[in-house]
Structure 1
Amino acid sequence: MSTKTEKIDRLAELTAQTETSSGSSLWVEAFRRLRASKMAVIGACIIAAFVVIAVIGPWIAPHSPIAQTWRGDVLPNQNVFVGPRGGNWLGLDHLGRDEFSRMLEGARQTLLVGVVSTALGFAVGAAVGVAAGAASTLGGRAGRRFDSVVMRFIDMMLAIPSLLLAVSVAAVLGQSLTTVMIAVGVVQIPIFARLLRGSMLAQGGSEYVLASRALGVRKRRIVLGHIVPNSLSPVIVQATLSLATAIIEAAALSYLGLGNPDASVPEWGVMLAQAQSYFDAAPSLAVYPAVAIIITALGFTLLGEAMREALDPKLRG
């Protein structure tokens, strides 16, 4: 847990540096470095391709992803499967459904789960982080006590392995796609909360905050109008990294049977779980979704790490 919190706190410290030595804004300099980073370009290209496929996939799919059109061509009990052929570019699954069409539709489901769960974690985590950060920065002794209590609870959540926490939440809520989104979102809450709170503390001692207080500006306006907007830089970076984690954890929950109860709906984690029973006879059915999950998560990770390095002067060399 200490390593995880150290990384979060280090990322939060970046907001204290609002200006570079050249006088340009931190984000302008970071964007310049991102354009020159091969890692960032590769990650952005992977993400762009994934989003495009997820959005237009159902319209370019050559066949219905749920129709068992070629059911008679496969005999899973006898290990008879159909590989790539003219009408089915990636072959057929164990129920005679077009694997290529299911992969395209699965991209949309994966994107939906990743974005919704990350948005949920961000919304709740940001609310908790703002409350704790504002209390500690401008709330006096009582505020610091409130911040201490909240952060001890957040640290307890961070101490639990993320996948174990997600499985626990999903097991309590029951099997559904909504459950997966909530479970993965809950895992993201303490990360965003601690990160935004740390960013606000880094901004709390800034000259503009001291000047605003001296001028008698209301505390709520200082927090919402000045401190929070200036504390979002590392949170945006973390959101990119969290999308990669969300995709992997959502696939893991679906693989464990905690996802959508309708197995006919294509989702890469479900497809991977279904292919496990036929791995010896048709390993490609597991390879396709596994590779898709790995490449997509890699894209978000590469871009997120490149953004973090572009913002962190210690990593810029």
Structure 2
Amino acid sequence: MTTKTDKIDRLAELTAARAEPEHGLGLWREAFRRLKRNPMAVSGAVIVLLFLVIAILAPWLAPYDPEARTWDHEVFQNQNIFVGPRAENWLGLDNAGRDELSRIIVGARQSLLVGVVATGLGFAVGALLGGLAGAAVGLGGRVGQRVDAVIMRVVDMLLAMPSLLLAVSVAAILGPSLLTVMVAVGVTQVPIFARLLRGSMLAQSHSDYVLAANALGVKRRRIVLGHIVPNSLGPVLVQGTLSLATAIIEAAALSYLGLGNPDTSYPEWGSMLADAQRFLSGAPQLAIYPAIVIIITALGFTLLGEAMRESLDPKLRK
């Protein structure tokens, strides 16, 4: 038989259990938990994952050789006659009698390569410049201020030029090639990462943990390299995801302008758009298909990046 005392003891136990603090989660674990509940993040992740799988497995997923002109006898460019979707060619044929679906699939690999390498190059150089500028300000002194001033004036000059114009200028100097596209797009990303990391480091330098470390006598260099820099990388990593979408679009634009891979027989979404420009009246689908995949891929990276920013920034959390 349960007595009144037992009920009181049981109620006290339940109250104590509820009063026990829950174990806190780290920043990235909390962000990941929010991402799983965010429909925008899930949609972006699905698109990005699908794009990665297609790009990696492209040689095995493509039904035909994307460079083989197997059906060139069925295409009559002079008469503006093209083959549309059919059983053996789901998206039809291009102007040279090549399977359009195979070229779209294999073109994802080159677009992914350009986007990742260009963003990685921009991230590495931009983070190096921004980190040096932020560390110089954090260490203080006239020398640090001068180093910061020189680096940021160079970054400001890069930011003064429109990104596409800067990319076209670099590509025109280096000459058309796949490497040129990577370098040109990477250069446009450098000032973005540099200013973002420097600003994040300056914001972190006024945090309570930095003041506490200074009060305890921790060396300034250790505070900057061991605490400020690691805690400032979150916004930069989010920007890297967003920059992948921009890099893919800008790489396609350079290829469209003829500054990409000079070998147009190898599929790339931007060069496919450029080739289709001459046949818009007779075969508009040749431009529609690569444009759609570029838009969807960029949308996936943008959705994922925006969701990551909302999850990591307390001011943007819903």
TM-score for both structures, normalised by structure 1: 0.89
Q: Which amino acid aligns with 2:139?
A: L
Q: 1:227 aligns to what?
A: 228
SS at match of 1:262: coil
Q: 1:85 aligns to what?
A: 86
Larger relative contact order (Cα-Cα within 8 Å, sequence gap ≥ 6): 1
Q: Percent identity?
A: 71
Q: Which amino acid aligns with 2:121?
A: L
CA 1:315–1:218 in structure 2 vs 1: closer, same or farther (change >3 Å)?
closer
Q: 1:154 aligns to what?
A: 155
Cα offset, 1:30, TM superposition: 2.3
Q: 1:179 aligns to what?
A: 180
Cα offset, 1:208, TM superposition: 4.0
Number of residue pairs aligned between Structure 1 and Structure 2:
297
Q: Distance in 1 between matches of 2:225 and 2:70?
A: 56
Q: Distance in 2 between matches of 1:141 and 1:25?
A: 37
Q: Which amino acid aligns with 1:267?
A: E
Is 1:301 the counterpart of 2:316? The answer is: no
Contact 2:118/2:182, CA 8 A, preserved across alignment: yes
Q: 2:49 aligns to what?
A: 48
Summarize deviations over 1:249-272 as a string: whole Å, max 9, x none: 000000000000001110000001
Q: 1:6 aligns to what?
A: none
Q: Distance in 1 between matches of 2:152 and 2:294?
A: 33
Q: Distance in 1 between matches of 2:314 and 2:118?
A: 31
Residues 65-84 of structure 1: pairs in structure 2 closer than 5 A: 65-84=66-85
Q: Which amino acid aligns with 2:120?
A: A
Summarize deviations over 1:150-169 as a string: whole Å, max 9, x none: 21221222222111111111
Q: Distance in 2 between matches of 1:153 and 1:215?
A: 36
Is 1:27 the counterpart of 2:13? The answer is: no
Instruction: Give the alignment's Cα RMSD to 1 decimal.
Output: 1.8
SS at match of 2:83: coil
Q: Distance in 2 between matches of 1:194 and 1:289?
A: 33
Cα offset, 1:80, TM superposition: 1.1
Unaligned stretches of 5+ residues in structure 1:
1-21
Q: 1:111 aligns to what?
A: 112
Unaligned stretches of 5+ residues in structure 2:
1-22
Q: Which amino acid aligns with 2:207?
A: S
TM-score for both structures, normalised by structure 2: 0.88
Cα offset, 1:221, TM superposition: 3.9
SS at match of 2:176: coil
Residues 1-317 of structure 1: pairs in structure 2 closer than 5 A: 23-212=24-213, 219-317=220-318
Cα offset, 1:231, TM superposition: 1.0
Cα offset, 1:282, TM superposition: 0.5
